[in-house]
């Protein structure tokens, strides 16, 4: 069953290719595909909750030799969040993606992108992780370059080159790891690496992985491709990317640093902690200087990446649980904010904050749609961001890491400042040009509302999600059940 999140997008990608000449059919297929995907993700989440870890050996080759898929708490939560975001993007794309892009193959790429993302969440093999990353990147390269305007192309050039560099680093790290341990199965690696007695070489490989995933997840100081490219494609694509791509990088970091590199932790965790702090601060400072709605939000993506990294660096069960909760929260809230930016643009024709205004009096509902995820991002109770940050801060204080706690709280305050700036400029100040009275398409506002509601729900009723995150984190700190599920009864 856990192969479904890969098979469904593959099948629907192929269907969309077959329906190349029928854009309306492709739009319908996108809705059907993402709905099925969400259903399968829910099924996997329920199954994993009951059994702990479920693993599948493709072709029944036993674990270290064959290809392994494994779903644990972290994977299944990420899968479900990704599927919800994909569903929202598919709905929004019904009106938000222009016919030109659909004719040049937007929908097949959309499905293949999802396949790559889900594959990365599910794989239990480090080389397959590389392959899934490439599947995901290749689709995203084309999605970001579609359109062919100067902005798209320039953004795509920067995005493509830096991500290819990250792939090369990733692949060299895999080569060195294979040389050290002679295996690529992650569970097998987790067993072999402590027996090697070569902590220095392992740390070297760990740092290579850190650099590769650092580029992909846009951590300090490797994030410069993100604000240069994320604001160039249409808002549906930006929202999808912001919800999925960098988060896959963070997922990969969490996976390798909890499962594989658990030896020389003093060094790697200190580096991670410093990186987390700088990522938060530089991201939010970068955002303060922006006057473009989407560029401002792009810098906030970077800033928010720092929080899950902080949880990973603290590395206690409560800190990891907080990281996972934070990832789910930020994927939902961030995607919702980008969709709101798209709604604003479709009303006033611009992303430039200086040209916007008067939306509060003209469109109170829209203003609320912005306000909820924005305050949630800043961490105001009772929204989801508050509980995520509360858990992180508590975990940080438990370990006596006062500095990072102070930094994270200061960054929250600056996030609030940044969000108030958007509020003042786009919603509060009088409009320069009167807001048009035409109705917004339901395809546009309904998915945004849906995401905001889901985000609101996990804020008002945080207990179920916190419990799930806690279970997932328990499997990350004690990897024994994962190893047993993948490798079986072997010692």
Partner 1 sequence: MTFLLALAAGALFAAGIYMILRRSLVKILVGLLLLGYAVNLLLFNSAVLVPGRPPLIPAGQTVPPEISADPLAQALILTAIVISFGVTAFVVVLIRQAYQVVGTDDLNEMRCTDIPCEDSELKDGKEGGA
Provide the binding-site residues for partner 1, judged by CB under 8 A.
127, 131, 134, 138, 141-142, 145, 148-151, 153-158, 160-161, 164-165, 168, 171-172, 174-176, 178-179, 184, 227-229, 231-232, 292, 352
Q: Give me the least distance between CB of 302 and partner 1, in Å please.
A: 15
Q: Give me the least distance between CB of 164 and partner 1, in Å please.
A: 5
* Cβ distance to partner 1 smaller for residue 229 or 258: 229
Q: Give me the least distance between CB of 132 and partner 1, in Å please.
A: 11
* Cβ distance to partner 1 smaller for residue 229 or 246: 229
Q: Give me the least distance between CB of 183 and partner 1, in Å please.
A: 9
* Cβ distance to partner 1 smaller for residue 78 or 187: 187
**Residue 109 near residue 81, CB atoms below 8 Å:** no
Q: Please report, for residues 420, 423, 435, the alpha-carbon distance to residue 295 in angstroms, rounded to integers and kept in the order given.
A: 16, 15, 23
Q: Is 366 exposed, middle or buried (0-12, 13-18, 19+ CB in 10 A)?
A: buried
Question: Three-state SS string across 132-172, please?
Answer: HHHHHHHHHHHHHHCCCCHHHHHHHHHHHHHHHHHHHHHHH
The C-alpha angle with vertex 391 and arms to 388 and 395, in degrees rounded to 5, equals: 140
Neighbours of 159 (CB within 10 A): 24
Q: Which residues of 452-488 are buried (b: 16+ CB within 10 A; e: fewer)?
A: bebbbebbeebeebbebbbbbbebbeebeebbebbbe
Q: Is 441 exposed, middle or buried (0-12, 13-18, 19+ CB in 10 A)?
A: middle
* Cβ distance to partner 1 smaller for residue 127 or 445: 127
* Cβ distance to partner 1 smaller for residue 261 or 307: 261
Q: Give me the least distance between CB of 176 and partner 1, in Å please.
A: 7
SS3 category, 465: helix
* Cβ distance to partner 1 smaller for residue 145 or 372: 145
Q: Give me the least distance between CB of 395 and partner 1, in Å please.
A: 37
* Cβ distance to partner 1 smaller for residue 27 or 300: 300
DSSP state of 436: P
Q: Give me the least distance between CB of 483 and partner 1, in Å please.
A: 21
Q: State both tokens at 2.
A: 């856990």
Q: In 3D, which of 350, 367, 351 has the Cα closest to residue 359?
A: 367
Q: In 3D, which of 351, 374, 363 has the Cα closest to residue 238?
A: 351
Neighbours of 347 (CB within 10 A): 19
Q: Give me the least distance between CB of 170 and partner 1, in Å please.
A: 9
Q: Give me the least distance between CB of 159 and partner 1, in Å please.
A: 10
Q: Is 179 exposed, middle or buried (0-12, 13-18, 19+ CB in 10 A)?
A: exposed
End-to-end CA distance of the chain: 27
Task: Provide the angle, in degrees to the nearest 10, between the axes of the packed helices 235-259 and 186-196.
Answer: 40
**Residue 306 near residue 219, CB atoms below 8 Å:** yes
Q: Give me the least distance between CB of 106 and partner 1, in Å please.
A: 16
* Cβ distance to partner 1 smaller for residue 24 or 150: 150
State how far the Cα of 368 lies from the Cα of 291, in Å rounded to an integer.
21
* Cβ distance to partner 1 smaller for residue 205 or 383: 205
* Cβ distance to partner 1 smaller for residue 156 or 485: 156
């Amino acid at each position: 069953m856990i192969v479904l999140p890969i098979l469904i997008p593959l099948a629907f990608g192929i269907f969309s290719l077959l329906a190349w000449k029928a854009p309306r059919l492709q739009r319908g297929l996108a809705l059907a595909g993402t709905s099925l995907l969400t259903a399968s993700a829910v099924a996997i989440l329920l199954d994993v909750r009951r059994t702990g870890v479920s693993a599948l050996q493709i072709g029944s080759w036993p674990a270290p030799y064959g290809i392994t898929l494994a779903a644990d708490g972290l994977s299944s939560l990420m899968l479900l969040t990704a599927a919800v975001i994909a569903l929202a993007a598919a709905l929004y794309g019904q009106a938000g993606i222009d016919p030109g892009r659909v004719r040049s193959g937007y929908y097949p790429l959309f499905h293949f992108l999802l396949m790559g993302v889900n594959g990365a969440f599910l794989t239990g093999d480090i080389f397959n992780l590389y392959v899934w990353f490439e599947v995901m990147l290749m689709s995203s390269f084309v999605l970001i370059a579609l359109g062919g305007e100067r902005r798209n192309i320039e953004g795509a050039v920067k995005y493509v080159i830096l991500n290819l560099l990250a792939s090369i680093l990733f692949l060299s790290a895999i080569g060195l790891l294979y040389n050290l341990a002679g295996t690529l199965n992650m569970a097998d690696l987790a067993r072999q690496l402590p027996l090697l007695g070569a902590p220095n070489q392992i740390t070297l490989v760990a740092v290579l992985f850190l650099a590769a995933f650092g580029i992909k997840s846009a951590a300090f100081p490797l994030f410069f491709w993100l604000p240069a490219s994320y604001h160039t494609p249409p808002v549906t694509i930006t929202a999808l990317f912001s919800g999925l791509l960098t988060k896959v990088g963070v997922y990969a970091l969490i996976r390798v640093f909890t499962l594989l590199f658990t030896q020389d932790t003093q060094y790697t965790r200190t580096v991670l902690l410093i990186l987390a702090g700088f990522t938060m601060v530089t991201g939010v400072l970068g955002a303060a200087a922006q006057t473009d709605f989407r560029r401002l939000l792009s810098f906030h993506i970077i800033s928010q990446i720092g929080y899950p990294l902080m949880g990973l660096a603290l590395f206690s069960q409560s800190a990891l649980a907080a990281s996972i909760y934070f990832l789910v929260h930020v994927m939902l809230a961030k995607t919702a904010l980008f969709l709101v930016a798209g709604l604003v643009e479709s009303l006033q024709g611009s992303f430039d904050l200086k040209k916007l205004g008067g939306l509060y009096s003209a469109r109170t509902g829209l203003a609320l749609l912005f306000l909820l995820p924005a305050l949630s991002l800043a961490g105001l109770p009772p929204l989801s961001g508050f509980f995520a940050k509360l858990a992180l801060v508590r975990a940080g204080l438990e370990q006596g890491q006062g500095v990072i706690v102070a930094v994270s709280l200061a960054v929250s305050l600056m996030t609030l400042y940044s969000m108030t700036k958007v509020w003042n400029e786009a919603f509060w100040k009088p409009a320069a040009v009167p807001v048009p009275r035409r109705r917004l398409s339901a395809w546009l506002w309904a998915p945004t509302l849906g995401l905001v509601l889901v985000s609101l729900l996990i804020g008002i009723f945080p207990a179920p999600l916190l419990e799930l995150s806690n279970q997932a984190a328990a499997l990350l700190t004690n990897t024994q059940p994962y190893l047993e599920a993948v490798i079986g009864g072997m010692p």
